[in-house]
Amino acid sequence: MSATTFEVQQFRPVERRVTFGGLLRSEWIKFWSVRSVIVTMVVSFVAIVGIGVLVSLATRSALSSVEGAQAMAANGVDAVGASMTGAQLGTLIVAAVGVIVIAGEFSTGMIRTSFVTAPGRLGVLAAKALVLAVNVAVVTGVAVFLAFFLGQAVLDTRDFGVAIGDDGVLRALLGNVAVLVGVALAGLGVGALLRNSAGGICTIVASIFVVPLLLMPIPESWGGDHLQEFWFSNTAQNATLVTQNPAYLDAGPGLLVFAVWVLALLGLGALALKTRDV
């Protein structure tokens, strides 16, 4: 009999590095796989467009009377502001999206899988931030410009509409989109810091709508005017307006300070991810 020789081959697992591109693909899939995120993004789009059109219709109705037309002509009709009213509610909605994107993973435990895949953790946060920023910019950008054109079409029936090429109009529209993206990223930072969806949403909403109201009674002698100017949600006010409000920072400096706030919140979230256990 002849002996048969078997050659045993050893199989070694192939180590694959997780690239940032891989993290981006993963986060993109996760972003559009979470039902609450999809619903919230759709609601933000509908709110920006729908409320903008409704307010424009209400403004046109007020202009139909002689007294209303005279009063608005004397005080100035903020045609862009009327069609951008929905963007104010949109900031609340996209802030919630930013919180949910990361805090939701902590509540389900999915974040453990993400951190096992990318132990550095900061790559996960960076990928989430980029995916969030791109999606919010595209969805709300389309909504903002659609709300503007529909709103101006309504107001044009009373000859109060404005064109996108008029002074400050395009800047105001882009400013609204920039604020929406920034607020969403701020929500991401707060979500990473608190790791709780309800707590994160309450915190970011309070910072946008409640704290500015609490700062108003502070007298100027105590620095109340500067506190209002430099508070997170007030810094970019003029970037969203055609006519600049002297109570707030100018559009350029305001956007810069707003960006510093957003980066600071993202930085705190990143620090929490690196120093706290899952």
Q: Which of 94, 97, 269 is nearest to 197 (CA)?
A: 97
Provide the pLDDT for residue 66: 52
pLDDT surpasses 60 at 70: no
Look up residue 128 and give its amino acid: K
When pLDDT is averaged across residues 137-143 and rounded to a whole number, the result is 97
- As a whole number, mean pLDDT of residues 19-25 equals 89
- Regarding predicted confidence, which is higher, 126 or 11? 126
Higher pLDDT, 278 or 212: 212
pLDDT per residue as tens digits for the range 102-120: 998 888 888 888 888 887 7
Buried b (16+ CB within 10 A) or exposed e, 172-197: bbbbbbbbbbbbbbbbbbbbbbbbbb
Q: What is the mean pLDDT of the chain?
A: 88
Mean pLDDT throughout 138-165? 93
Confidence (pTM): 0.89
CA gap 238, 98 in Å, rounded: 23
How confident is the model at residue 159, as a pLDDT?
79
Domain range summary for the chain, segments of one domain joined by +: 20-271
Q: Where does the pLDDT of residue 14 fall: very low under 50, low under 70, confident under 90, or very high at 90 and above?
A: very low
- Helix or strand or coil: residue 60? helix
